[in-house]
Amino acid sequence: MATVTGQVAGFAALKTLIETTLTARGWTLANGILRRGVAFVQLTASANELRLQAGTGQAGAALTGACPQSVKVMSFSNAPIQWPAEAVLHVFDAPDEVYAVLRYNVDRHQHLNFGVSTMPQIGGTGLWASGAFRGDVVGTSATCRVFIAANSGTDLGALPYDGPGLGFFFASSAGTYQSSVIHCGLEGAAGWRTTYGGNPGDLLGVSHKAGLLHALPSQFNQATVLLPIDVLMARQAQGQTVVATLAHARYCRLDHLDLSQPLLYGPERWRAYPLHAVHPVQRNGAGWPTGAQHSGSFGVALRDLP
């Protein structure tokens, strides 16, 4: 695995950094499409965004079996990115997982990630992708803010509407424009699962972790516990199936953490990031319709190299 840090002057430079890093680690870049095993992803940069489209194959310069929803990082009018920015890439093999973190405007963060699920017997390719935004979110919207559902400790997740979906399957079952997808063959033919809710075949977001995340950090010693990121799908008869568990990323709370320092757990080393930006007082974020330009103390930890 590798952790790569660099300064980027725009989305085109971020695209180049991702492609250069991955091709140096065994990925193939042909006709603008990155490929390794069952993973096919295409990055498209413009002045205002870097978009990721996932697919199941390639025909020349076109993806085949492309996901109907792309994901992206972008500069939006409520809080435009001031360049240059810092990019941190966490790249892993077996399973293939790529985590790109864009840190800008001192304390703001956006994430763009993809990988392949190792969960057996789920059908499809298991390729998943997530970003700070879903591809059809418009950056000029006046309500392009972070909305988080955090009702009584039993519900949790992003309510993006026309704001950030935050990625990492950190989704509430309510709200459109969720920004994490997976290719799966359960509950019907193999295809892209992009919808969140309670119907068979829908993804279920992060509410199953609500009680644990609301209980952190420990009131005894303020310790941070890293929680696995499990992707759940609704099944028939109110059943649920885990269709992916991210191998190198964990949910966490950022209270009491020095984000400039690594987290050490025995021989393991992790680096913690906000889902967007930390607010130590409004730690559960702001719900609809208020929203905020922060994500409370909700964060993600990525496995790191010493």
Q: Write down the domain spans for the chain.
A: 2-303
Give me the residue label for tokens 């700070």: 132
Distance CA 242, CA 228 (A): 12
Query: Concatenated DSSP letters for 73-96?
Result: EE-BTTB---SSEEEEEEEETTTT
| pLDDT tens, the chain, 306 aa long | 789 999 999 999 999 999 999 999 999 999 999 999 999 999 999 999 999 999 999 999 999 999 999 999 999 999 999 999 999 999 999 899 999 999 999 999 999 999 999 999 999 999 999 999 999 999 999 889 999 997 767 789 999 988 999 999 999 987 789 999 999 999 999 999 999 998 999 999 999 999 999 999 877 777 889 999 999 999 999 899 999 999 999 999 999 999 999 999 889 999 999 999 999 999 999 998 999 999 999 999 999 976
With 0-12 / 13-18 / 19 or more C-beta atoms within 10 angstroms meaning exposed / middle / buried, residue 48 is middle
How many secondary structure helices (H) and strands (E) does the chain include?
A: 2, 22
Which tokens hold the place of 271? 């680096």
237's torsion region: left (phi>0), alpha (psi -120 to 50) or beta? left
